[in-house]
Amino acid sequence: MNVREGIEGLRELPGGAVLSVGNFDGIHLGHRRLLESAMRLRSEAGGSVAVVTFEPHPLTVLRPQLAPPRLTAPAVKRKLLEDAGVDEYVVLPPRPEVLNLSAEDFWAIVRDQVRPAHMIEGRTFNFGKGRGGNIDRLREWALKSDVKLHVFDPVTVPLLDLSVVPVSSSLIRWLLAWGRVRDAAICLGRAYSLCGKVIKGFQRGRRIGIPTANLACDNQLIPMDGVYVGRCTVSGTTYPAAASIGNQPTFEQQRHQVEAHLVGFDGDLYDSTIELELVDWIRDNRKFAGIDALKAQLARDIATAAARSTIAAERAIAIAS
C-alpha cells in the first residue's frame, strides 16, 4: 500500500481509480462492505482503490472536548486498510490548510487533481469546513463531472438482544461504553482490541501468583470497567486472557488500569507492544473481603477465560457474516 501524507498527497491517481473519503475509525462491517464494493469497481475499471482519511480526527483540533475516542490506533487502522486491499492511502492531518478547505474547494481538488473515475461514500457523508458538503451536494457536483458517484447504504446487523441496527463507529463506541464487547464484535466483524505498550504496574498480581501485563492504551476507547474474556498473541502463539479494566477496588487503588493475565504464558512482556482482544464479558469489578477471596475469584475468571476465549468471538463474528 502506497502511503501519502498531507494535502500534497492529493494528487492524480492511476487511471480508473476508486476513491473513498472518511475517518474509517474501527474499519467496521460498514467500512468493509464499502471497501468490498470498491474492489469490485476496481476489477471492472482497472486502476486502484484509494482511501483519504483524517488522522487524528479533526475535532481534536476544532473542539477537543467533543473529539470521539478512537477505536483503532493509527498503525492498526493502516494495517486493516492494507489487508482489505487498499492501494493508495492518503492521511490528512488536521492542519489549517486542510481544516479551512470549503466543501467546494475540496471537491475541486478531488475533481481536478486526484481525478478518480469513481467515488464511493455512505449516505451520511459530510465534508469541508463546517461540514458544508453532504452527499446530495456531492451527487450534484459529480453529475457535472467525469466522476461516477456510488452511494452506499448503511449495513444493518442483529445484536444479541435481537435488535437490528445500522453499523456505525458511534454505535460501537456506545456498545463498548456498556461493556458489550460481543455486540461490538458483531459490528466490527472481529473482536475489539486494545493496543498498547506493557508498562510496570503495582506488581500485586505477581506477588499473589497471578502476573498481569499492564497496558498503556493512549487515546483509544477503553470499554466499561469490568473483567473480560480476552485473547493475546505473542510471538505467533495465541493465549487466552483474563482482562481487568478498572481501579482494583480490593486494594482501594485510584489509578485506572488495563491489565491482563495471559493463561499459559511464561515470559517478560515489559516495554513490548501487544494487542489484547476483548471477546466476552465476565463480571463487574467489585471489592473482596481479602486476598484469599480475591485469588479464588481470579482463579474462576481465568478458568472462564480459558474456556470461552475462542467460542465467544467466533459466535459473535458468525452472526455478522
Contacts of 282 (CB under 8 A, 6+ apart): 226, 227, 228, 229, 242, 301, 304, 305
Q: What DSSP designation does 40 have?
A: H
DSSP string, 133-151: EEHHHHHHHHHTSSPEEEE
Residues 196 and 149 in one domain: no
In this structure, the answer to whether residues 183 and 114 fall within a common structural domain is: no
Q: Please determine, for residue 205, whether its predicted confidence score (pLDDT) is greater than 70.
A: no
> Do 116 and 87 meet the contact criterion of CB atoms below 8 Å apart?
no
- CB within 8 A of 16, min separation 6: which ones? 42, 45, 46, 47, 48, 117
pLDDT of residue 120: 97
Whether residue 162 is found in the same domain as residue 298: yes
pLDDT at 247: 86
Q: What is the mean pLDDT of residues 257-273?
A: 91
State residue 147's pLDDT score.
95
Same domain, 129 and 71: yes
- Of the two residues 309 and 189, the one the predictor is more confident about is 189
The tally of domains found in the chain comes to: 2
Same domain, residue pair 230 and 289 = yes
Predicted TM-score (pTM) of this structure: 0.92
Which pLDDT value is given to residue 108? 96
Say whether both 96 and 197 belong to one domain: no
- The answer on pLDDT for 206 being more than 80 is no
Q: Which helix (H) or strand (E) holds 268?
A: none
Stretch 288-304: mean pLDDT: 90
Cβ 156 vs Cβ 166: under 8 Å: yes
What are the C-alpha distances in Å from 120 to residues 117, 138, 239?
Answer: 10, 11, 39
Answer yes or no: are the C-beta atoms of 30 and 153 closer than 8 Å: no
Q: Say whether both 291 and 303 belong to one domain.
A: yes
Tell me: do 143 and 178 sit in the same domain.
Answer: no
Q: Do 162 and 304 lie in a common domain? A: yes
Instruction: With cut-offs at 50, 70 and 90, classify the pLDDT of residue 88.
Output: very high
Residue 159 pLDDT more than 90? yes
Residue where a domain stops, chosen among 92, 127, 154: 154
CATH of the domain at 70: 3.40.50.620
C-alpha cell at 253: 487503588
Q: Is the pLDDT of residue 319 over 60?
A: no
With DSSP H G I counted as helix, E B as strand and the rest as coil, what are the percentages for the chain, rounded to 5?
Answer: 35, 30, 35
Q: How confident is the model at residue 139 (pLDDT cuts 50, 70, 90)?
A: very high
Measured in whole angstroms, the distance separating CA 152 from the mean position of its chain's CA atoms is 20
Residue 88 sits in the same domain as residue 162: no
Residues 209 and 110 placed together within one structural domain of the fold: no
Residue ending a domain, among 119, 154, 189, is: 154
* Mean pLDDT (the chain, rounded): 90
How far is the C-alpha of 67 from the C-alpha of 246, rounded, in Å? Answer: 23
All three cell numbers of 138: 456531492
Most confident of 134-148, 210-224, 240-254: 134-148
Rounded Cα gap, residues 146 and 289, in angstroms:
70
Q: How sure is the predictor about 318, in pLDDT bands with cuts at 50, 70 and 90?
A: low
pLDDT digits (tens, 9 = 90+) for 19-73: 999 999 999 999 999 999 999 999 887 789 999 999 998 888 888 998 999 999 8
Q: Are 277 and 193 in contact (CB under 8 A)?
A: yes
Pair 142, 224 in one domain: no
pLDDT above 70 for 283: yes
Q: Which domain holds residue 254?
A: 157-320
Nearest of 6, 33, 31 to residue 21 by alpha carbon: 31
The fraction of the chain above a pLDDT of 90, given in percent, is 70
C-alpha cell at 299: 482463579
The 3-state DSSP class for residue 95 equals coil
| Structure confidence at residue 252 as a pLDDT band (50, 70, 90) | low
Residue after which a domain boundary falls, among 154, 171, 202: 154
CATH code for position 305: 2.40.30.30
